[in-house]
């Protein structure tokens, strides 16, 4: 593999210091970026990583725009932009109605809300330079808005076979710009037990199938039969049937799973599809993020010594604590 993906890291309570150590090791291994998901306080995580690394790109992927006001976001984002010396990308999105409702937030229209948010941020005085604002995208109109007002775009759980259509919304000039971010968050599970790895990714994405925005996107991407099945199961309150509606074809198009060799090839396919920065979201057959990255959540020592070396051809493979992430047989 000549191109490495970026890595998604979440700061899980009780393991935050270990996550920073892992971020340092990811940088040492030459991975190009570290992105915090909406889980947890990804802005604080980016701040900590910025102060404990020197070169790796960092960013949020994504931060919902409704949880703080534009002035507060602008102050924090400008601070991060300055202390990271330009390495920070501020990924923002409109989230989803069920998640917002749980927080007591009522959203407006996604496109107009996003446009207003970016305008409000850019109008905040005396904060210093802002970082590139990267818009969370799925469908055509938000992609077009990202080109118009943003510094990039990022998918989450995008369909690789649909990328030619999606990226067709961008001009050739935009796609060629080095400073226009094009990313995708990809659920990833590495294991020689391919069936078990697929089951992990299916479980990860099942919750997204309950969200209307995702179902509409995946219908557009060619998975109408699967999404119609999901909607029928939801209507009948037969929620256990939802994963059964999600085909292997859909799973292979939206996630990465299998041996290290399988996942390497999948990442290359994402680059070939036009995603400049694939962002792997690691899970393990047994355990969570730290186990997926090769570190035991309870053992002494640093998890950093067991980062995703399986993706890296240079140097001697590490002795990894978890073979599902660290297999170097490919």
End-to-end CA distance of the chain: 11
Question: Of 62 and 289, which is predicted with more confidence?
Answer: 62
Task: Work out the widest C-alpha separation in the chain, in whole angstroms.
Answer: 54
Please say if the pLDDT value at position 24 is more than 60. yes
- Kindly indicate the confidence band of residue 97, based on its pLDDT and cuts at 50, 70 and 90: confident
Q: What is the pLDDT of residue 322?
A: 35
Least trusted range by pLDDT, from 253-257, 283-287, 293-297: 293-297
DSSP H helical segments within 33-180, as ranges? 42-52, 70-83, 97-102, 110-123, 140-149, 163-167, 172-176
Please say if the pLDDT value at position 294 is more than 90. no
CATH number of the structural domain spanning residue 292:
3.20.20.30
Average pLDDT over residues 17-46: 93
Tokens 């080109």 label which residue?
147
- Kindly indicate the confidence band of residue 314, based on its pLDDT and cuts at 50, 70 and 90: very low
Residue 258 φ/ψ, nearest 5 degrees: 120, -160
Least trusted range by pLDDT, from 87-101, 257-271, 291-305: 291-305
What are the strands, taking DSSP E only, across the chain? Answer: 6-8, 33-36, 57-64, 88-93, 133-136, 152-156, 181-190, 256-258, 277-283
pTM strictly above 0.85: yes
Question: Of 162 and 297, which is predicted with more confidence?
Answer: 162
In a domain, 163, yes or no: yes
Average pLDDT over residues 233-259: 97
In a domain, 35, yes or no: yes
Mean pLDDT of the chain: 88
* CA dist., res. 206 & res. 203, Å (int): 5
In a domain, 103, yes or no: yes
- Kindly indicate the confidence band of residue 40, based on its pLDDT and cuts at 50, 70 and 90: confident
| 223-244 confidence digits (pLDDT tens) | 999 999 999 999 999 999 999 9
Question: Of 30-39, 53-62, 285-294, which has the strongest mean pLDDT?
Answer: 53-62
In a domain, 215, yes or no: no
- Kindly indicate the confidence band of residue 313, based on its pLDDT and cuts at 50, 70 and 90: very low
The parent domain of residue 170 ranges over 6-201+253-326
Q: What is the pLDDT of residue 115?
A: 98
Q: What is the pLDDT of residue 68?
A: 93
| 110-149 confidence digits (pLDDT tens) | 999 999 999 999 999 999 999 999 999 999 999 999 999 9
Please say if the pLDDT value at position 311 is more than 50. no
* CA dist., res. 46 & res. 329, Å (int): 33
Please say if the pLDDT value at position 306 is more than 50. no
In a domain, 1, yes or no: no
Q: What is the pLDDT of residue 290?
A: 67
Q: What is the pLDDT of residue 295?
A: 53
Helix (H) or strand (E) holding 60: strand 57-64
Average pLDDT over residues 249-263: 96
- Kindly indicate the confidence band of residue 100, based on its pLDDT and cuts at 50, 70 and 90: confident
Please say if the pLDDT value at position 282 is more than 50. yes
Residues 179, 151: contact at Cβ < 8 Å?
yes
In a domain, 314, yes or no: yes
In a domain, 216, yes or no: no
Q: What is the count of structural domains for the chain? A: 1
Q: Which two tokens stand for residue 322?
A: 């978890």
In a domain, 258, yes or no: yes
């Amino acid at each position: 593999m000549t191109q490495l993906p970026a890595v998604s890291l979440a700061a899980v309570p009780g393991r935050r210091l270990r996550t920073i150590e892992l971020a340092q090791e990811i940088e040492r291994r030459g991975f190009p970026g570290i992105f915090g998901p909406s889980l947890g306080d990804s802005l604080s995580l980016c701040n900590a990583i910025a102060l404990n690394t020197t070169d790796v790109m960092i960013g949020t992927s994504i931060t919902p725009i409704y949880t703080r006001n534009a002035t507060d976001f602008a102050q924090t984002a400008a601070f991060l932009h300055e202390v990271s010396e330009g390495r920070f990308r501020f990924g923002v999105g409109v989230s989803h109605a069920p998640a917002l409702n749980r927080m007591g937030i009522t959203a407006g229209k996604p496109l107009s809300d996003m446009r207003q948010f970016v305008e409000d941020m850019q109008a905040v005085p005396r904060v210093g330079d802002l970082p590139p604002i990267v818009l969370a995208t799925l469908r055509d109109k938000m992609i077009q808005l990202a080109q118009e007002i943003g510094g990039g775009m990022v998918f989450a759980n995008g369909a690789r076979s649909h990328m030619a259509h999606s990226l067709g919304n961008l001009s050739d000039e935009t796609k060629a710009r080095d400073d226009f971010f094009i990313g995708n968050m990809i659920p990833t599970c590495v294991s020689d037990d391919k069936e078990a790895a697929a089951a992990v990714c299916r479980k990860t994405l099942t919750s997204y199938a309950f969200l209307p925005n995702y179902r509409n996107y995946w219908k557009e991407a060619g998975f109408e039969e699967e999404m119609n099945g999901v909607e029928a199961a939801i209507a009948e309150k037969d929620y256990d049937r939802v994963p059964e509606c999600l085909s292997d074809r859909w799973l292979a198009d939206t996630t990465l799973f299998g041996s290290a060799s399988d996942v390497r090839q999948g990442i290359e396919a994402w680059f070939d599809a036009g995603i400049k920065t694939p962002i792997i979201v690691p899970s393990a057959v047994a355990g969570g993020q730290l186990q997926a990255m090769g570190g035991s959540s309870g053992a002494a020592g640093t998890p950093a010594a067991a980062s995703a070396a399986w993706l890296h051809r240079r140097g001697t493979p590490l002795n990894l604590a978890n073979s599902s992430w660290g297999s170097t047989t490919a």
